[in-house]
């Protein structure tokens, strides 16, 4: 395995080597495109023991999936390098064809004809002391990812916004022992009725901290000094597309309603308003799970190849006419 970046211009640089980036690179490498994936090694689901809800791979460790993905990209000649992109920007076109330069934190640079951004997203957790250390295990967000694993447990939903009510109802499908902590976030009479109808207890007393115990979550300490035992907590996170180092690409972003997050705007097959730049996975689709992210990456990879085929043919025509 080599971490060397190619000296000349490559067809495509993929920024981010999670499910989206690797599947995009796989399509490109199999199309005999020179492709380099730059990955800083912090995929979103790294804290989770296993990945669930994706056929065939269900139950496999997220890191093993990525390791196998990297091997498959390399098998077709694609390169996967460890590094952090700190700058990416368009460069002067060459013979009418687009160029981009991408700089890594360690000083290496890559020149590419096209860019696929697959940097994923960052989950911003509510500021509750003791919560973050349990993220991905005792503190979860996704009923489809780990809901089955926490079924029938004593579960607490920590409200973070209007979406938390529906979130609670989703987790109610998995356990009948559920407490909803409002944390000062307004809950109208209709929502209270809906929660009550499903046997969900509502606690309005402010939450002071998450109390750990036995290697996991023991419960919540409230502002009045009382303790509510809970083995699992669920939160709707604020989902922020990871944009560090990408300012130079000037990709349009969009805020979701109710403070749910921010994504890169994309169109068909991950195209963006910036010619030559595609985006796939959680960076543009905040709700995408591993399967959807991989599929989006594959589609973007195929679309990039199709566009390069057209560019290559146009260039050949010009040469033939010269």
Does 79 sit near ligand FAD (CB under 6 A)? no
| Contacts (Cβ under 8 Å, ≥6 apart) of 251 | 117, 243, 264, 265, 272, 273, 274, 277, 279
Rounded Cα gap, residues 287 and 277, in angstroms: 21
Strands 109-117 and 97-104: antiparallel
Does 245 sit near ligand FAD (CB under 6 A)? yes
8 A C-beta contact, residue 179 and residue 173: no
Interhelix angle 290-321/19-30, rounded to 10 degrees, is 40
Interhelix angle 163-172/189-197, rounded to 10 degrees, is 10
Does 160 sit near ligand FAD (CB under 6 A)? no
Q: Least distance (Å) from ligand FAD to the CB of residue 146?
A: 6
Does 289 sit near ligand FAD (CB under 6 A)? yes
Does 210 sit near ligand FAD (CB under 6 A)? no
- Based on CB atoms, which residue is closest to ligand FAD, 34 or 240? 240
Q: Least distance (Å) from ligand FAD to the CB of residue 261?
A: 13
- Based on CB atoms, which residue is closest to ligand FAD, 47 or 259? 47
Report residue 172 as tokens.
């109610």
Does 136 sit near ligand FAD (CB under 6 A)? yes
Q: From residue 45 to residue 64, what is the string marking binding to ligand FAD with x (rule CB under 6 A)?
A: x-xx--xxxx----------
Strands 139-140 and 35-39: unpaired
Does 242 sit near ligand FAD (CB under 6 A)? yes
Rounded Cα gap, residues 182 and 187, in angstroms: 7
Does 178 sit near ligand FAD (CB under 6 A)? no
Chosen residue from 5, 13, 20, 80 binding ligand FAD by CB under 6 A: 20
Does 109 sit near ligand FAD (CB under 6 A)? no
Q: Least distance (Å) from ligand FAD to the CB of residue 46?
A: 8
* Stretch of 26-34, 155-163, 257-265, 289-297 contacting ligand FAD, by CB under 6 A: 289-297
Does 119 sit near ligand FAD (CB under 6 A)? yes
Give the residue carrying structure tokens 């990416």: 88
Please tell me the total number of residues recorded for the chain in this structure: 322
8 A C-beta contact, residue 236 and residue 163: yes
Reduced to 3 states (helix: H, G, I; strand: E, B; else coil), residue 117 is strand
Q: Which residues bind ligand FAD (CB under 6 A)?
A: 15-21, 38-45, 47-48, 51-54, 84-85, 118-120, 123, 136, 142, 145, 242, 244-245, 281-283, 288-291, 293
């Amino acid at each position: 395995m080599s971490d060397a970046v190619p000296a000349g211009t490559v067809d495509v640089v993929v920024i981010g080597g999670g499910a989206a980036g690797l599947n995009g690179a796989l399509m490109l490498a199999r199309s005999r495109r020179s492709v380099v994936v730059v990955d800083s090694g912090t995929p979103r689901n790294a804290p989770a023991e296993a990945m669930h809800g994706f056929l065939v791979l269900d139950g496999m460790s997220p890191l093993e999936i990525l390791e196998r993905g990297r091997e498959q990209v390399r098998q077709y000649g694609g390169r996967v390098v460890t590094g952090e992109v700190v700058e990416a920007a368009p460069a002067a076109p060459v013979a009418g064809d687009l160029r981009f330069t991408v700089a890594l934190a360690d000083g290496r640079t890559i020149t590419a004809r096209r860019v696929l951004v697959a940097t994923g997203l960052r989950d911003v957790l509510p500021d509750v002391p003791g919560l973050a250390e349990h993220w991905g295990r005792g503190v979860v967000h996704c009923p489809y990812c780990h809901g089955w694993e926490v079924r029938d447990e004593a579960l607490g939903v920590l409200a973070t916004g209007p979406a938390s009510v529906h979130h609670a109802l989703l987790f109610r499908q998995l356990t009948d022992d559920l407490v909803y902590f409002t944390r000062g976030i307004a809950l109208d009479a209709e929502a209270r009725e809906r929660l009550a109808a499903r046997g969900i207890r509502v606690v309005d007393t402010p939450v002071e901290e998450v109390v750990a115990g036995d290697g996991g979550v023991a419960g919540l300490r409230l502002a009045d000094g009382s303790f509510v035992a809970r083995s699992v907590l669920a939160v709707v996170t604020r989902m922020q597309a990871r944009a560090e180092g990408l300012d130079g690409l000037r990709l349009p972003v969009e805020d979701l309603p109710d403070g749910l997050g921010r994504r890169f705007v994309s169109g068909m097959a991950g195209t963006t308003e910036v010619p030559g730049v595609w985006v796939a996975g959680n960076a543009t689709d905040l709700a995408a799970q591993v399967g959807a992210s991989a599929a989006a990456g594959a589609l973007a990879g195929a679309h990039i190849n199709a566009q390069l085929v057209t560019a290559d043919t146009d260039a050949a025509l010009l040469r033939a006419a010269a």
